[in-house]
Structure 1
Amino acid sequence: MESVRAVLCGYYGKGNGGDEALLASLLQMLPNHVTPIVLSGDSAQTQAAYGVEACDRKTPQVLIPALKQANVLIWGGGSLMQDVTSAASPVYYGGLMGLAQRFGLKTIAWAQGIGPLNRSFTRWLARQAFTNCDAVSVRDQGSAALLSEWQVPFLLAPDPVWALEAKPVEGLWDLPAPRVAVALRSHSSLTPERLAILTQALVDFQKSTQTCILLVPFQAAQDLAIAETIQPQLPGPSKILSLSDPQQLKGVFRGVEMAIAMRYHGLIMAAAEGCRCFALSYDPKVSQLMSELDIPGWDLLGNSQHAPIPSDPRTISQAWVEHYANGAPLSANQIHSLVDRALTHRDLLYQALQGL
């Protein structure tokens, strides 16, 4: 079969563990006859980490020739079409899709999480981008509802990271057991006052359970400072685990009893590896995941059906202790089903790339 050149675009090479896990999942799922070219924020790092061709995602002199030499653009996965911070993301991805289609490339929107889209312009841009794609897959009910409203055909399946192969983490099993992972991220909803409350709750939780706390920054630029603020205040054993390999990041959760996470992919990785999860939602995608998997937790923004986070650290720590003692992870059958369904994102790739 002739080799197909596919440009992969997403939030890659930006040091975000969740987006890197999506890239690793996509590379794992690509058919053998496809040669990937990854658009990256750090092309040298992407090339070294994955052994693939990569080029700068925003330099026209390399980006445009990469598109012209390719057969297909695979756009995703993750929350790329959202305007919560600014309209820049939808404009970039919408423009890239339009350019690829103008050059005659087949375009695939893969494992997308669409929104929030609060501006009428970005909503229109997203609708145009998805309408003109040759194939579309999404990872959540909210995205599926939007595409249904726009009358765009799509495949709905769990996030591909469910199916990502985990790798063992050197030294993890040498740390004291039992272990609990904590994955917090920088966000306007995590105010200094709220972080202080959560830190005190972790202190109380550790005293009650005698657990080793693993602080897991998913994106060093956003999460590491939080971990470094919390760690000196913990009374028991703890470790900050900064990992760049997304497969190892997933492997962390194979060695912990429970995960307390704001990070969307932190919850997915933990649930997939069979540990109990407790969520702190800062985004609709996390709230949706909580509802779909029946994960206990609180809403940091107070705008979903989930209860707002308490202001008393003792209430928080008691809820964590209760879930640690009596909560249950997903069953092996549930995990198998989610992994199996996540692999349909791979099937969509095989079907869309057939005949190229």
Structure 2
Amino acid sequence: MNKIVISGFYGFHNIGDEAILKTLTQQLKKLDPNVEITVLSHSPEETMLKFGVKAINRRDAFKVFNAIRKSKILLSGGGSLLQDDTSARSIHYYLAILKMGLFLRKKVFLISNGIGPLIRDSNKRKVAKILNKVDHTTVRDDNSRQLLEEIGVKPSKVSVSADLVIAMDMQPKDVGEKILKELGIIDDSRKRLAIAIRQKDFRTEEKRAQLIKLANELAKKHSVIFIPFYYKNDTKIYEDIHEFTDSHVYFINNKYNSDEFMSILQNIDMLVGSRLHSLIFSLVAEIPFIGVSYDPKIENFMDMISMKPVCSMSTFSSEVIIDAVEALEDQYAVKKLEVLEAKKTLRKRLDINDIMLKKVL
């Protein structure tokens, strides 16, 4: 029996990472129906219940060591695990897990990782040293591969794939339609526009004023829905701005799983997002979107599909985004076709993951 340990940012109620884990475990079970999967999770019981896998506390070093010792394969990913921009500690955690797998002489792979930013030279050296020892790494964008090669990882050790969420299936639309109606969105004459941002980027009064202005201006013609891709943080935007927004601005605050989120997006006409997986969900749901960057991973993803963010968080402007929404609506049919073509292209890139996993299993 193949025993696999999966390491990643799991069990934190992040919709993007939930979707990553779901698609990855489904693919592993498809390739080997008897595979035994153990996930390192922040919420092990919840992970077991949601995904039908074994799970252990990712911070219990003894249990983690034993799980890897008993396994055949260690998979790290997907997501942006190897970066030292948002946290100085997380990169050391994920490198320690990889070193544990190498120490125990397991097959060690990184799958569909986004690499960087890597700011500290010491971390660049550590990443290069370890990734030159693992069996193989697939990254989710061309810029991640370029970064790895720049810091000294052998080109033969790295292949370019795509984000694992690209493999996610579309869902029945009635689930999302019901959720939106329960939210009070019943006016079918209005187009629906979703906004998916990080609440932490709007903590200053100036930034919040720009966001309120954006929501209210768009609400003159649209039903505007704030969607939280990371519950712990993003639902707080409701407390910050709801009393200043118009009647056609709505906030999703209840918890839904990744399939329900996909169904919601399939009932939306367009999305403005700075959360990476809000853009990827939109692509899978086949709806046009506008990207706002807070991190190079946004540019990296949009580069893969020949698009660019309309602005960054440092230059966030309601006027710029409103103009982009109007331009998108003027070319909606063309933009829809571009999304369909991009989805097809990225799904083809995922084949490299299948080839790697088949060899391993």
Taking structure 1 as the reference length, what is the TM-score of the superposition?
0.89
* Greater CA drift, 146-155 or 195-204: 146-155
Task: List aligned pairs for 1:64-213, cutoff 5 A.
Answer: 64-149=65-150, 150-152=153-155, 153-168=157-172, 169-170=175-176, 171-172=178-179, 174=181, 175-176=185-186, 177=188, 178-188=191-201, 191-207=204-220, 209=221, 211-213=222-224
Give the AA of the match of 2:110. Answer: A
Q: Residue 205 of structure 1 contacts residue 318 of structure 1 at CA under 8 Å; is this kept in 2?
A: no
* SS at 1:167 equivalent: coil
Task: List aligned pairs for 1:220-231, cutoff 5 A.
Answer: 220-231=231-242
Q: Residue 38 of structure 2 contacts residue 56 of structure 2 at CA under 8 Å; is this kept in 1?
A: yes
Distance 1:222 1:192 in 2: 17
Q: 1:300 aligns with which of 297, 313, 333?
A: 313
Distance 1:331 1:39 in 2: 34
Correspondence for 2:288: 276
For residues 234-293 of structure 1, the C-alpha deviation after alignment (integer angstroms, 9 at most, x for no partner) is 323343334441222222211110001010010011022111111111000112223333
* SS at 1:116 equivalent: coil
Give the AA of the match of 2:52. Answer: G
* SS at 1:108 equivalent: strand
Residue 334 and residue 318 in structure 1: after superposition, are their counterparts in 2 closer, same or farther (change >3 A)?
closer
Q: Residue 4 of structure 1 contacts residue 35 of structure 1 at CA under 8 Å; is this kept in 2?
A: yes
Correspondence for 2:248: 237
Q: Residue 185 of structure 1 contacts residue 263 of structure 1 at CA under 8 Å; is this kept in 2?
A: yes
For residues 29-81 of structure 1, the C-alpha deviation after alignment (integer angstroms, 9 at most, x for no partner) is 21224211000001011011111110000112321211111111000011100
* Greater CA drift, 171-180 or 65-74: 171-180
Distance 2:250 2:92 in 1: 40
Q: Which has the higher helix share?
A: 2
Distance 2:339 2:323 in 1: 24
Paired residue total: 341
Tell me the CA shift for residue 4 of structure 1.
0.6
Distance 1:93 1:105 in 2: 16
Q: Residue 217 of structure 1 contacts residue 227 of structure 1 at CA under 8 Å; is this kept in 2?
A: no
Distance 1:82 1:189 in 2: 23
Q: Residue 4 of structure 2 contacts residue 36 of structure 2 at CA under 8 Å; is this kept in 1?
A: yes
Q: Residue 212 of structure 1 contacts residue 236 of structure 1 at CA under 8 Å; is this kept in 2?
A: no
* SS at 1:133 equivalent: coil
Task: List aligned pairs for 1:244-323, cutoff 5 A.
Answer: 244-293=256-305, 294-301=307-314, 308-310=315-317, 313-323=318-328
Give the AA of the match of 2:167. Answer: A
Task: Confirm whether residue 217 of structure 1 aligns to residue 228 of structure 2.
Answer: yes
Report the identity percentage: 26
Tell me the CA shift for residue 172 of structure 1.
4.0
Correspondence for 1:333: 341
Structure 2's unaligned 5+ residue stretches are none
Give the AA of the match of 1:180. Answer: L
Residue 186 and residue 297 in structure 1: after superposition, are their counterparts in 2 closer, same or farther (change >3 A)?
same
Distance 1:163 1:66 in 2: 27
Correspondence for 1:46: 47
Give the AA of the match of 1:269. Answer: F
Distance 1:233 1:289 in 2: 33
For residues 308-340 of structure 1, the C-alpha deviation after alignment (integer angstroms, 9 at most, x for no partner) is 333xx4454333233234342334333222223
Residue 319 and residue 133 in structure 1: after superposition, are their counterparts in 2 closer, same or farther (change >3 A)?
same
Q: Residue 283 of structure 2 contacts residue 339 of structure 2 at CA under 8 Å; is this kept in 1?
A: no
Tell me the CA shift for residue 215 of structure 1.
1.3
